[in-house]
Amino acid sequence: MNWLDQDWLQTQPPIVQQTVGYAQQGLELARDWLVSPAAWSQFALIVLAWLAAAFLTRRLRPAIARLLTPAPGQNTALARARRMILTVLPLLLPLLAYVIAAVGEGVITSVFGSGAVIAFGKRVFLFLAIRAFARDVLTDPMLRLLGKFVLIPVGAIYALGLLDEVTAWLRGTVVPLGDLSFDLLWLIQFVVAGGVIFWLGRWSNDQTGEFIKKQQEMRPATRQLAEKAAEIAIFGAAFLILMNIMGVSLTSLAVLGGAIGVGLGFGLQKIASNFISGVILLLEGQATVGDYVELDGGEAGTIVRMTARAAILETFDGRWIVVPNEDFIVTRVVNYSDAGSANRYEAPFSVSYDTDINTVPGIIEQAVSALPFVLQDPEGPDCELRGFGDSGVDFCCEFWVNGIDDGRNKYTSQVLFAIWNALRDNGIEIPYPHRVVEIRGAAPTGTA
Count of domains observed in the chain: 4
Is residue 173 one of the residues assigned to a domain?
Answer: no
What lies within 8 Å, CB to CB, of 124 at 6+ separation is 46, 159
- On whether both 370 and 295 belong to a single domain, the answer is no
Distance CA(46)–CA(184), nearest Å, equals 35
Dump pLDDT digits (tens) for 257-282.
Answer: 666 666 656 666 777 777 788 777 77
**Structure confidence at residue 1 (pLDDT):** 44
Distance CA(194)–CA(146), nearest Å, equals 11
**Structure confidence at residue 418 (pLDDT):** 94
Is residue 388 one of the residues assigned to a domain?
Answer: yes
Mean pLDDT across the chain: 79
Dump pLDDT digits (tens) for 302-350.
Answer: 888 887 778 888 887 778 888 888 888 888 888 876 545 688 889 999 9
Is residue 230 one of the residues assigned to a domain?
Answer: yes
Contact 365, 382 (CB under 8 A): yes
- On whether both 332 and 370 belong to a single domain, the answer is no
**Structure confidence at residue 257 (pLDDT):** 62
CATH of the domain at 329: 2.30.30.60
- On whether both 152 and 245 belong to a single domain, the answer is no
Is residue 274 one of the residues assigned to a domain?
Answer: no
pLDDT at 181 over 60: yes
Dump pLDDT digits (tens) for 18-44.
Answer: 666 666 666 665 666 555 666 677 778
CATH of the domain at 391: 3.30.70.100
Contact 94, 126 (CB under 8 A): yes
pLDDT at 186 over 70: yes
Q: What is the largest CA-CA distance in the chain?
A: 143
**Structure confidence at residue 363 (pLDDT):** 92
Contact 37, 85 (CB under 8 A): no
Distance CA(163)–CA(345), nearest Å, equals 76
Distance CA(91)–CA(97), nearest Å, equals 10
Q: Which amino acid is at 298?
A: G
Distance CA(381)–CA(369), nearest Å, equals 6
Domain that holds residue 401: 342-425
CA distances 339 to 71, 287, 289, Å, are 39, 13, 10
pTM over 0.85: no
Local confidence band at 68 (pLDDT 50, 70, 90 cut-offs): confident
- On whether both 297 and 400 belong to a single domain, the answer is no
pLDDT at 8 over 70: no
